[in-house]
Amino acid sequence: MPQYQIAQSPRLSGEVSISTAKNAVLPILAATLLSREETLIRQVPDLTDTHHMADILRSCGAQVEESGKDFCVRALIAGSPQDESLLRTMRASVLVLGPLVGRCGEARLSMPGGCAIGQRPIDLHLKGLQKLGARVSQDGGEVTVSGHLRGANIYLDFPSVGATENLVMAACLAKGVTRIENAAKEPEIADLCRFLCAMGARIAGAGTANITVEGVKEMRGAAYTPIPDRIEAGTLACAAAITDGSVLLEGARSDHMRALLFKLTESGVICQDDTRGLRIRGRARQPMEVRTLSYPGFPTDMQAPLMVVATQTHGLSVFLETIFENRYMHVVELKRLGAQARVEGQLALIQGGKPLTGATVTATDLRAAAALMLAGLVSQGQTVLVDDAGHLTRGYDGLEEKLRALGANVEKIDRPS
Ligand code: UD1
């Protein structure tokens, strides 16, 4: 049962190396099921979710060897996951659906779980698979998708990241050409498609709203290093911005982080490309208006960390969350630290400039956990972040260690459960 002790911290300074992106690695690991040959994924971040995905692959019949940060997968055989309990704890477990139906003509899954940030249905995944010719049946908490897939034209009612990934992966081994319109454009989708192409897939338009996949008979093995994590880099950029810091985020890609960097720059922070990554200097002062949107709009995953930045500015900031319906749970916790904040439906209003004071706060989801850790850095006295569900280690590879390396007063304490 992890908890973190955080004390008010000096200006963060120094360099940290950005891990590869959780949200790229998870679909890439799922995609390894498409081939009988060996695939090697390098620099996999040490996260509960990545190890969990490895267990799901094993449960599907694949051999997975984890050697340090290298995951070597060989799925000589593949089938529906045998251990259903593995699926309920992670939303991204649904990503094995597309590869399994594409390769085996059938997949049976328990409906996925994950962070409690809204209803998160998978109707768009299932509707798209039906367009590809699959039959879908649901029985209680279980969904079965079966049939030999044929290319089709698919329009997504909403550019869902997971549905786009699942459908692209399913289409790789479908007969004929699949066109996905209103596809999600996140960099992690383009990265997944680069990996799929390395495995022999034929994909055009990855990273745009119109993706075309020409089905192939077989996929081969490949070795791949996923892109750096723009959300981890963004979280550390926010940590620098609240402490008047000067940090180098080694490997961070500013071209994947434009929306956040605009907000930080407008607020007074200096964000500069460096040959080795991204340099963040100075303090956020101006309040901000933020509307979460699909990429290249402002990422919902950065909403909670940027809200902590808003508490440190002078004036009223306005946040509008349009992607998830229940993603303001951190606001109640920020208020425990003394933040002047109010939620009105999809809107959150933050009156910045009020000093925060340490208290015991609870991590309610992954990004909320990171945001509360940042809030502790600028709260007077001691903050205790209780993360009984282990949200932080689901999605950040050593966030507290990276913050500590930059001078933050953060310590992890493992309490007996
Ligand atoms: C992915 C990311 C997550 C990020 C989110 C939005 C991974 C592993 N996770 O999640 O970190 O916060 O994108 O950028 O990459 N929806 C439906 N029906 C569907 C699918 C989605 O209504 O079939 C809704 C969801 O409930 C949600 C919204 O669409 O309100 C966005 O979901 P989606 O883009 O699918 O996010 P995920 O792939 O779950």
Say yes or no: 299 and 386 in one domain: yes
Say yes or no: 163 and 249 in one domain: no
92, 317, 337, 406 from 323: Cα distances, Å: 17, 19, 26, 32
Query: What global pTM score does this model have?
Result: 0.97
| CATH number where 242 lies | 3.65.10.10
Range of the domain at 110: 22-224
Q: How do residues 27-70 score in pLDDT, each as one tens digit? A: 999 999 999 999 999 999 999 999 999 999 999 999 999 999 99
Pick the last residue of a domain from 203, 224, 245: 224
pLDDT, mean over the chain:
95
Q: How do residues 322-341 score in pLDDT, each as one tens digit? A: 999 889 999 999 999 999 99
Ligand 1: which of 158, 260, 330 to mutate, most ligand atoms within 8 Å of CB?
158
CA of 133 to the centre of ligand 1 (A): 23
Residues assigned a catalytic role: 115
Q: Residue 117: is its pLDDT beyond 50? A: no
Say yes or no: 213 and 262 in one domain: no
Ligand 1 pocket residues where CB is under 6 Å: 23, 26, 91-92, 118-125, 158, 160-163, 188, 300-301, 323-324
Say yes or no: 164 and 236 in one domain: no
Say yes or no: 240 and 348 in one domain: yes
Mean pLDDT across 338-367 = 96
| Structural domains of the chain, count | 2
Say yes or no: 196 and 339 in one domain: no
Say yes or no: 29 and 10 in one domain: no
Angle of helix 97-104 versus helix 123-131 axis, rounded to 10: 20
CA of 261 to the centre of ligand 1 (A): 23
Pick the last residue of a domain from 224, 243, 261: 224
Say yes or no: 134 and 76 in one domain: yes
Say yes or no: 249 and 362 in one domain: yes
Question: What is the C-alpha separation between 251 and 165, in angstroms, rounded?
Answer: 24
Which ligand 1 atom lies nearest to the CA of residue 186? 14
CA of 211 to the centre of ligand 1 (A): 18
* Ranges assigned E (strand) in 346-416: 347-351, 356-357, 360-362, 379-380, 382-386, 409-414
Which ligand 1 atom lies nearest to the CA of residue 294? 14
Question: What is the C-alpha separation between 174 and 212, in angstroms, rounded?
Answer: 12
Q: List the beta bridge partners of residue 383.
A: 6
Pick the last residue of a domain from 190, 206, 224: 224
Ligand 1: which of 28, 127, 161, 294 to mutate, most ligand atoms within 8 Å of CB?
161
228, 232, 283, 336, 375 from 19: Cα distances, Å: 6, 8, 24, 31, 22
Q: How do residues 146-191 score in pLDDT, each as one tens digit? A: 999 999 999 999 999 999 999 999 999 999 999 999 999 999 999 9
Which ligand 1 atom lies nearest to the CA of residue 159? 34
Say yes or no: 181 and 163 in one domain: yes
Say yes or no: 188 and 293 in one domain: no
Say yes or no: 103 and 206 in one domain: yes
CA of 289 to the centre of ligand 1 (A): 23
